[in-house]
Amino acid sequence: MNNTIGDGMVTLALAGSFVGYLYMRYQTRQKRVEIIHQERMAAMEKGIPLPEFPLEPAREHRPPDQRVLPILGMVLSTLSLGTMIVLALNLPAESRSFWVAPLPFAFLGVGLIAYHFLQAKAGR
């Protein structure tokens, strides 16, 4: 294992950014709780009744987007078909048979598109 100083720096930067993200998220939550506390204290001093506020806002449940599967299918199939064309044209003669390597991704993309259209027909 030949790790360089650059590898260590990248690892430390990733770990530091992760810890920094968690710290910023914690600080944001603490600031929000502090603001809510100050508002409640001011309202209590004035004698205003307060409703209960949840600390975390309720997440709304959205139905899944119907466009994700065909878009992902188109992206997978076109990228894999383009990769197959590039490999077939640019590989040396002895390794020309590797152009089929992205074929599973092309089939996956076509399958996702077909699944989308079959789901649309079943829903009608």
Mean pLDDT of 81-109: 92
Look at residues 59, 80, 97 and tell me which one is the last residue of a structural domain: 59
45, with CB counted inside 10 A (0-12, 13-18, 19+), is exposed
Q: Which residue has the higher pLDDT, 123 or 76?
A: 76
Both 72 and 95 in one domain: the answer is yes
Please report which confidence band the pLDDT of residue 122 belongs to, taking 50, 70 and 90 as the band edges: confident
54 and 79 co-located in one domain: no
Residue by residue, DSSP assigns 21-86 as HHHHHHHHHHHHHHHHHHHHHHHHHHT-------SSPPPPPPPPPTTHHHHHHHHHHHHHHHHHHH
Same domain, 53 and 84: no
Task: Give the 3-state secondary structure of residue 14.
Answer: helix
Considering the domain architecture, whether residues 78 and 55 belong to the same structural domain is answered as no
Residue 72 has pLDDT above 80, yes or no: yes
- The two three-digit tokens of residue 56, written as one number: 């975390």
Which one-letter DSSP state was computed for residue 91?
A: S
Stretch 71-98: mean pLDDT: 93
Q: What average pLDDT score do residues 36-65 get?
A: 80
* 18 and 35 together in one domain: yes
Judgement on whether residues 77 and 46 belong to the same structural domain of the protein:
no
User: How many domains is the chain partitioned into structurally?
Assistant: 2
At 56, the pLDDT band (50, 70, 90 cuts) reads low
Rounded to 5°, angle at Cα 80 from 91 and 106: 125
What is the domain range of residue 110? 68-123
32 and 5 housed in the same domain: yes
Distance (Å, whole) CA 81 – CA 54: 50
Same domain as 78, residue 26: no
Asked if pLDDT for residue 124 goes beyond 70, the answer is no
